[in-house]
Amino acid sequence: NAGVTQTPKFRVLKTGQSMTLLCAQDMNHEYMYWYRQDPGMGLRLIHYSVGEGTTAKGEVPDGYNVSRLKKQNFLLGLESAAPSQTSVYFCASSYGTSHTQYFGPGTRLTVL
Amino acid sequence: AQKITQTQPGMFVQEKEAVTLDCTYDTSDQSYGLFWYKQPSSGEMIFLIYQGSYDEQNATEGRYSLNFQKARKSANLVISASQLGDSAMYFCAMIQPDTGFQKLVFGTGTRLLVSP
Protein backbone atom coordinates (compact mmCIF):
# COMPACT_ATOMS: atom_id res chain seq x y z
CA ASN A 1 0.00 0.00 0.00
CA ALA A 2 1.31 3.42 -0.98
CA GLY A 3 -1.18 5.11 1.39
CA VAL A 4 -1.68 8.74 0.40
CA THR A 5 0.50 10.16 -2.36
CA GLN A 6 0.78 13.71 -3.66
CA THR A 7 2.21 15.15 -6.84
CA PRO A 8 4.18 17.25 -7.32
CA LYS A 9 6.42 17.49 -4.24
CA PHE A 10 7.64 20.99 -5.07
CA ARG A 11 6.42 23.71 -7.40
CA VAL A 12 7.26 27.34 -8.07
CA LEU A 13 4.66 29.51 -9.76
CA LYS A 14 4.50 33.09 -10.89
CA THR A 15 1.61 35.27 -9.72
CA GLY A 16 -1.43 34.63 -11.89
CA GLN A 17 -0.42 31.17 -13.08
CA SER A 18 -2.62 28.18 -12.49
CA MET A 19 -1.86 24.67 -11.35
CA THR A 20 -3.43 21.49 -10.04
CA LEU A 21 -2.21 19.38 -7.15
CA LEU A 22 -3.08 15.71 -7.30
CA CYS A 23 -3.80 13.52 -4.30
CA ALA A 24 -4.31 9.78 -4.57
CA GLN A 25 -5.14 7.20 -1.90
CA ASP A 26 -5.29 3.43 -2.15
CA MET A 27 -7.01 2.73 1.18
CA ASN A 28 -10.58 2.92 -0.19
CA HIS A 29 -11.31 5.86 2.10
CA GLU A 30 -14.52 7.77 1.60
CA TYR A 31 -13.30 11.07 2.98
CA MET A 32 -10.52 13.21 1.60
CA TYR A 33 -9.17 16.58 2.66
CA TRP A 34 -6.86 19.37 1.56
CA TYR A 35 -4.98 21.41 4.17
CA ARG A 36 -2.44 24.15 4.05
CA GLN A 37 0.32 24.58 6.62
CA ASP A 38 1.80 27.99 7.31
CA PRO A 39 4.49 28.80 9.90
CA GLY A 40 3.08 29.20 13.40
CA MET A 41 -0.49 28.40 12.33
CA GLY A 42 -0.76 24.63 12.32
CA LEU A 43 -2.84 23.06 9.55
CA ARG A 44 -6.00 24.65 8.20
CA LEU A 45 -8.66 22.89 6.15
CA ILE A 46 -9.15 24.24 2.63
CA HIS A 47 -11.74 21.86 1.13
CA TYR A 48 -12.92 18.36 1.79
CA SER A 49 -14.93 15.60 0.19
CA VAL A 50 -17.23 13.05 1.83
CA GLY A 51 -17.40 10.83 -1.24
CA GLU A 52 -16.94 10.55 -4.97
CA GLY A 53 -18.54 13.49 -6.76
CA THR A 54 -18.94 15.62 -3.63
CA THR A 55 -16.89 18.53 -2.32
CA ALA A 56 -17.34 21.15 0.38
CA LYS A 57 -15.60 24.24 1.68
CA GLY A 58 -13.39 24.15 4.72
CA GLU A 59 -11.92 26.93 6.80
CA VAL A 60 -9.89 28.76 4.11
CA PRO A 61 -11.43 27.93 0.69
CA ASP A 62 -10.94 31.24 -1.14
CA GLY A 63 -8.73 31.03 -4.21
CA TYR A 64 -8.96 27.24 -4.46
CA ASN A 65 -11.20 24.77 -6.25
CA VAL A 66 -11.38 20.99 -5.88
CA SER A 67 -12.79 18.00 -7.68
CA ARG A 68 -13.38 14.37 -6.72
CA LEU A 69 -14.25 12.59 -9.93
CA LYS A 70 -12.91 9.26 -8.69
CA LYS A 71 -13.03 7.92 -5.16
CA GLN A 72 -9.28 7.52 -4.95
CA ASN A 73 -8.35 10.97 -6.28
CA PHE A 74 -8.83 14.48 -4.93
CA LEU A 75 -7.56 17.42 -6.96
CA LEU A 76 -6.79 20.89 -5.67
CA GLY A 77 -6.67 23.70 -8.19
CA LEU A 78 -5.35 27.23 -8.05
CA GLU A 79 -6.80 29.25 -10.94
CA SER A 80 -4.75 32.40 -10.43
CA ALA A 81 -1.96 31.92 -7.91
CA ALA A 82 -1.12 34.67 -5.42
CA PRO A 83 1.94 35.05 -3.15
CA SER A 84 -0.40 34.51 -0.15
CA GLN A 85 -0.86 30.94 -1.38
CA THR A 86 2.79 30.14 -0.77
CA SER A 87 2.50 27.28 1.67
CA VAL A 88 2.88 23.56 2.21
CA TYR A 89 -0.20 21.65 1.08
CA PHE A 90 -1.24 18.37 2.61
CA CYS A 91 -3.81 15.91 1.44
CA ALA A 92 -5.37 13.46 3.88
CA SER A 93 -7.95 10.70 3.81
CA SER A 94 -10.03 8.75 6.32
CA TYR A 95 -12.80 6.15 6.52
CA GLY A 96 -15.10 8.59 8.23
CA THR A 97 -14.94 12.04 9.70
CA SER A 98 -14.41 10.76 13.22
CA HIS A 99 -11.71 8.37 12.12
CA THR A 100 -7.98 8.93 11.95
CA GLN A 101 -6.83 10.97 8.99
CA TYR A 102 -3.77 9.73 7.14
CA PHE A 103 -1.66 12.33 5.43
CA GLY A 104 0.33 12.49 2.23
CA PRO A 105 3.94 13.74 2.17
CA GLY A 106 2.99 17.32 1.29
CA THR A 107 3.60 19.70 -1.62
CA ARG A 108 5.72 22.78 -1.10
CA LEU A 109 4.36 25.58 -3.28
CA THR A 110 6.04 28.93 -3.76
CA VAL A 111 4.28 31.74 -5.61
CA LEU A 112 6.57 34.55 -6.72
CA ALA B 1 -15.44 27.86 19.01
CA GLN B 2 -13.40 24.75 19.51
CA LYS B 3 -9.73 25.41 20.00
CA ILE B 4 -6.50 23.54 20.66
CA THR B 5 -3.70 25.20 22.63
CA GLN B 6 -0.10 24.04 22.72
CA THR B 7 1.79 26.44 24.96
CA GLN B 8 5.28 24.99 24.51
CA PRO B 9 6.83 26.22 21.26
CA GLY B 10 9.96 24.17 21.96
CA MET B 11 11.05 21.41 24.30
CA PHE B 12 14.42 19.83 24.96
CA VAL B 13 15.02 16.38 26.38
CA GLN B 14 17.98 14.07 26.71
CA GLU B 15 18.00 10.72 25.05
CA LYS B 16 16.36 7.95 27.10
CA GLU B 17 14.47 10.41 29.29
CA ALA B 18 10.69 10.85 29.26
CA VAL B 19 9.06 14.05 28.04
CA THR B 20 5.54 15.47 28.25
CA LEU B 21 4.11 17.70 25.54
CA ASP B 22 1.16 19.76 26.68
CA CYS B 23 -2.16 20.15 24.93
CA THR B 24 -5.33 21.77 26.21
CA TYR B 25 -8.57 22.01 24.33
CA ASP B 26 -11.78 23.92 24.50
CA THR B 27 -15.09 22.45 23.48
CA SER B 28 -18.67 22.40 24.68
CA ASP B 29 -19.35 19.04 23.04
CA GLN B 30 -19.50 15.84 25.07
CA SER B 31 -18.32 13.66 22.21
CA TYR B 32 -14.98 14.42 20.61
CA GLY B 33 -11.69 12.85 19.66
CA LEU B 34 -8.12 13.91 20.29
CA PHE B 35 -5.12 13.07 18.12
CA TRP B 36 -1.39 13.57 18.17
CA TYR B 37 0.64 13.77 14.99
CA LYS B 38 4.41 13.90 14.51
CA GLN B 39 6.03 15.94 11.76
CA PRO B 40 9.74 15.20 11.27
CA SER B 41 11.99 17.51 9.30
CA SER B 42 11.16 15.57 6.15
CA GLY B 43 7.69 17.11 6.37
CA GLU B 44 5.22 14.25 6.44
CA MET B 45 2.48 14.09 9.09
CA ILE B 46 2.56 10.82 11.01
CA PHE B 47 -0.36 9.70 13.15
CA LEU B 48 0.75 8.71 16.66
CA ILE B 49 -2.18 8.18 19.00
CA TYR B 50 -5.92 8.74 19.45
CA GLN B 51 -8.13 9.28 22.51
CA GLY B 52 -11.91 9.34 22.43
CA SER B 53 -13.75 11.50 24.92
CA TYR B 54 -15.64 8.48 26.28
CA ASP B 55 -12.59 6.26 26.57
CA GLU B 56 -12.09 5.43 30.23
CA GLN B 57 -8.46 4.46 29.91
CA ASN B 58 -5.62 6.59 28.63
CA ALA B 59 -4.51 5.61 25.14
CA THR B 60 -1.09 4.03 24.68
CA GLU B 61 0.88 3.12 21.56
CA GLY B 62 4.31 1.73 22.26
CA ARG B 63 6.42 4.52 23.79
CA TYR B 64 3.60 7.03 23.36
CA SER B 65 0.85 7.53 25.89
CA LEU B 66 -1.81 10.16 26.19
CA ASN B 67 -2.46 11.62 29.62
CA PHE B 68 -6.15 12.46 29.26
CA GLN B 69 -7.64 14.65 31.99
CA LYS B 70 -11.17 15.37 30.88
CA ALA B 71 -12.10 17.75 33.69
CA ARG B 72 -9.04 19.86 32.99
CA LYS B 73 -9.56 19.53 29.22
CA SER B 74 -6.00 18.42 28.70
CA ALA B 75 -4.56 15.69 26.50
CA ASN B 76 -0.82 15.66 27.05
CA LEU B 77 1.45 13.38 25.05
CA VAL B 78 4.04 11.46 27.03
CA ILE B 79 7.00 9.99 25.19
CA SER B 80 8.96 7.52 27.27
CA ALA B 81 12.63 6.69 26.69
CA SER B 82 13.19 9.43 24.11
CA GLN B 83 15.20 8.60 21.02
CA LEU B 84 17.11 10.88 18.65
CA GLY B 85 14.53 10.06 15.99
CA ASP B 86 11.82 11.63 18.15
CA SER B 87 13.16 15.09 17.28
CA ALA B 88 10.27 16.63 15.33
CA MET B 89 7.27 18.91 15.50
CA TYR B 90 4.31 17.48 17.39
CA PHE B 91 0.75 18.57 16.76
CA CYS B 92 -2.27 18.02 18.93
CA ALA B 93 -5.60 17.96 17.10
CA MET B 94 -9.26 17.57 17.94
CA ILE B 95 -12.27 16.42 16.00
CA GLN B 96 -14.72 19.29 15.98
CA PRO B 97 -18.35 18.53 15.12
CA ASP B 98 -19.51 21.12 12.60
CA THR B 99 -22.99 20.85 11.07
CA GLY B 100 -22.74 17.11 10.47
CA PHE B 101 -19.11 17.15 9.43
CA GLN B 102 -16.36 16.60 11.96
CA LYS B 103 -13.48 18.92 11.23
CA LEU B 104 -9.98 18.23 12.54
CA VAL B 105 -8.63 21.31 14.31
CA PHE B 106 -4.90 21.56 14.93
CA GLY B 107 -2.81 23.31 17.52
CA THR B 108 0.25 25.32 16.51
CA GLY B 109 2.66 22.56 17.47
CA THR B 110 5.62 21.93 19.78
CA ARG B 111 9.12 21.38 18.45
CA LEU B 112 10.91 18.62 20.36
CA LEU B 113 14.66 18.30 20.27
CA VAL B 114 16.26 15.16 21.67
CA SER B 115 19.94 15.46 22.51
CA PRO B 116 22.44 12.61 22.92
pLDDT classification of B100: cutoffs 50, 70, 90: low
Residue B101 reports pLDDT greater than 70? no
Span B58-69, pLDDT tens digits: 999 999 999 999
Span A33-81, pLDDT tens digits: 999 999 877 899 999 999 999 999 998 999 999 999 999 999 999 999 9
Q: How far is CA B32 from CA A44, A97, B108, in A?
A: 18, 11, 19
Q: Which residues of A touch B95 (CB under 8 A)?
A: 97-98
| Average pLDDT of span B9-31 | 94
Q: Are A67 and A22 in contact (CB under 8 A)?
A: no
Q: Among candidates B47, B68, B1, B9, which has minimal Cα distance to B28?
A: B1
β partners of residue B60:
B65
Task: State the Cα–Cα distance between residues B87 and B13, nearest whole angstrom.
Answer: 9
> Sign of dihedral through CA atoms A78, A81, A85, A87?
positive
* pLDDT reported for residue A41: 76
Nearest beta carbon to residue A106 from set B4, B44, B93 = B44
Residue B25 reports pLDDT greater than 60? yes
